[in-house]
Amino acid sequence: MTSPSSSDLSGHWAAHELGRVVVSAAELQARITEMGRQITADYAGAPPLLVCVLKGAVNFMADIMRAIELPVQIDFMAVSSYGAATKTSGVVRIVKDLDVDLNNRDVLIIEDVVDSGLTLNYLRQYLGARSPRSLEVCALLLKEGEQRVEQDLKYVGFSIPADFVVGYGLDVNERYRNLDAIYTFVGEA
Ligand code: IMP
Ligand code: MG
């Protein structure tokens, strides 16, 4: 997926904990531009409410919202899943809820990564109970072969191998969200 030169991490400030580039900054931006075009076409006449799932989707949200040429509205939720640093338990705690009413809205959930899919399942039920007109998902990353439940994802940026990754919003113990590309993490979690 990436050229050898973009996987050369020597000299990178986090090189000691990063394995390889999974999605480069250029690939991210190109794909997000494409996704924005698709969303613009699909929601023409009915601008969606974009619901960003903090914190991991913050970078993706900032870029995808600017790639959509419609008067969208945005809101934020923060969830945290209990369990080990690199695997979700499926038990989700709502840390920050939405400010806006979802009644009769076209809601598009902006997610960073769908791994087991448990977080998303929980969110879908939680938000679906508030009578949105439609509820769809736009996920940047989908981990191949890891979903425990069949996922209905309207938009997916990239399918990636099941390695633990960091960067572009994704963290390990709150670190590396500020990287502009997505890397495998090879340090101690
Ligand atoms: P799921 O519930 O197993 O689908 O996991 C979803 C959540 O776990 C994501 O929203 C992320 O916050 C986190 N997560 C899953 N895989 C990774 C990863 O490779 N790196 C960083 N966070 C991850
Ligand atoms: Mg996380």
State how beta strands 134-143 and 155-160 pair: parallel
The residue type found at 156 is V
Residues 6+ apart with CB under 8 A from 105: 48, 49, 132, 133
For residue 92, the model assigns a pLDDT of: 84
Q: Give the integer Cα–Cα distance in Å for 50 and 184.
A: 28
- Establish if 134 belongs to a structural domain: yes
- Establish if 47 belongs to a structural domain: yes
- DSSP three-state, residue 28: helix
Q: Which of 42, 115, 152, 180 is catalytic?
A: 115
Task: Say whether 115 is catalytic.
Answer: yes
The verdict on the CB of residue 116 being under 6 Å from ligand 1 is yes
- Establish if 129 belongs to a structural domain: yes
- Establish if 148 belongs to a structural domain: yes
The ligand placed nearest to the CA atom of residue 122 is 1
- Establish if 32 belongs to a structural domain: yes
Q: Which domain holds residue 119?
A: 24-165
Ligand 1 atom having least distance to the Cα of 122: 2
**Residues 168, 176 contacting (CB under 8 angstroms):** no
Which residue in 32, 82, 74 sits closest to 53, CA to CA?
A: 74
- Establish if 107 belongs to a structural domain: yes
- Establish if 8 belongs to a structural domain: no
For residue 87, the model assigns a pLDDT of: 63
For residue 3, the model assigns a pLDDT of: 44
102 to 46, 74, 98, 118, 131: CA distances (angstroms)? 14, 12, 9, 22, 6
Q: Give the integer Cα–Cα distance in Å for 43 and 47.
A: 6
**Residues 33, 67 contacting (CB under 8 angstroms):** yes
Ligand 1 atom having least distance to the Cα of 112: 10
- DSSP three-state, residue 146: coil
Measuring from atom 19 of ligand 1, which residue has the nearest CA?
164
Per-residue pLDDT of the chain (189 residues; tens, 9 = 90+): 444 445 789 899 999 999 999 999 999 999 999 999 999 999 999 999 999 999 999 999 999 999 999 999 999 999 887 655 566 666 788 999 999 999 999 999 999 999 989 889 999 999 999 999 999 999 999 999 877 777 899 999 999 999 999 999 999 999 999 999 999 999 998
For residue 43, the model assigns a pLDDT of: 98
For residue 1, the model assigns a pLDDT of: 46
pTM of the shown model: 0.93
The residue type found at 76 is F
The CATH number of residue 49's host domain is 3.40.50.2020
Measuring from atom 3 of ligand 1, which residue has the nearest CA?
116
For residue 84, the model assigns a pLDDT of: 56
Number of domains into which the chain is organized: 1
